[in-house]
Homo-oligomer: A and B are copies of this chain.
Amino acid sequence: MTTASTGGTHWLSDEEQCVWRAYLHATTLLEDHLDRQLQRDAGMPHIYYGLLVQLSQAPGHQMRMTELAKDAKITRSRLSHAVARLERNGWVRREDCPSDKRGQNAVLTDEGYEMLRRSAPGHVRAVRQAMFDRLTAEQVRSFGEIMQVIATGLEPEGTDADLPWLR
């Protein structure tokens, strides 16, 4: 399960293993960190917070369900449950889509916007502290490129890919 070419599998090199492990550690710790920060300060997991942010940036503070799922890179099922919960909290409301009777718009409520306004500073601080404060400008640039490459690789253009929001 470790080093170089056996049997036809192109195993990871020592450096690659090291990088992969660092990646898993960093992402696991960071997700845990932000989930806790937001659960404490905003009463919701990180991904739910991201949904509210998306809505706050959309025209009319609203978005079609599938669009929202696509932007958040999650399944529509997951989004349905999430929006149901956010609706119970009074931060989001559903509206029928006028042009397509199957469609629903998720709308950020005023209370939702207000809660976002209150918790944004703390969240930015946490992100900065965990990531941007620790990296040089050059590292930030390079990091952005790398993440872009990986993200793009996982959702190719001409697409038959198994993407969450199409499932």
Contacts from A to B (Cβ < 8 Å) = 1-2, 7-12, 15-16, 18-20, 22-33, 36, 50, 53, 56-57, 72-74, 116-117, 120-121, 124-125, 127-132, 134-135, 139-151, 153-155, 162, 164
Task: Name A22's contact: one of B22, B147, B164 (CB within 8 Å).
Answer: B147
Give every chain B residue within 8 A of A155 (Cβ-Cβ). Answer: 29
B151 in contact with A1 (CB, 8 Å) = no
Min CB distance A102 to B, Å, is 25
Additional A-B contacts beyond A36-B162, A143-B146 (10; CB < 8 A): A8-B121, A10-B128, A15-B140, A24-B50, A27-B31, A28-B73, A30-B150, A32-B74, A139-B146, A139-B149
Min CB distance A125 to B, Å, is 8
Name 28 interchain pairs, CB-CB below 8 A, sorted by A.
A1-B53, A1-B56, A1-B120, A8-B121, A9-B125, A10-B125, A12-B124, A12-B127, A12-B128, A15-B140, A18-B144, A19-B143, A22-B147, A22-B148, A27-B31, A29-B151, A29-B154, A29-B155, A29-B164, A30-B150, A30-B154, A32-B73, A32-B74, A33-B154, A134-B153, A135-B146, A142-B142, A143-B146
